Amino acid sequence: MPLVFEHALDTAAVGDDGGEAVAELVAMCRRDRSVLEAARLRAIGMVMTSPHDQLGRNALRLLDEALRRGDERRRWRSAEWPILGAGR
């Protein structure tokens, strides 16, 4: 997870448009959505601490886009165990 978060920050720092960076973020997760979710939570903490920090906001935007793209293209592996209460 730290590598994914750091890559999002590095990409945000150079002002990349995000297309290639988002694809890289999805690939770095190796089909595990929780890796992106954890990196996103870290970015949210950064934005909450410093709301005017454009670097944190851009990193969060990239991570959000990576989650959306992974969802749209069904890049995540399915859960290996049933979620409790999912059938209720």
Which tokens in the block code for residue 50?
């410093």
Q: How far apart are CA 77 and CA 61, in angstroms?
A: 23
Question: pLDDT digit string (tens) for 6-44?
Answer: 999 999 999 876 789 999 999 999 989 999 999 999 999
Res. 81 pLDDT band, cuts 50 70 90: low
Question: pLDDT digit string (tens) for 44-66?
Answer: 999 999 999 999 999 999 999 99
Q: What is the dihedral of CA 83, 23, 27, 56, to 10 degrees?
A: -70
Q: How far apart are CA 10 and CA 25, in angstroms?
A: 12
Res. 1 pLDDT band, cuts 50 70 90: low
Instruction: Give, for 1, the enclosing helix (H) or strand (E).
Output: none
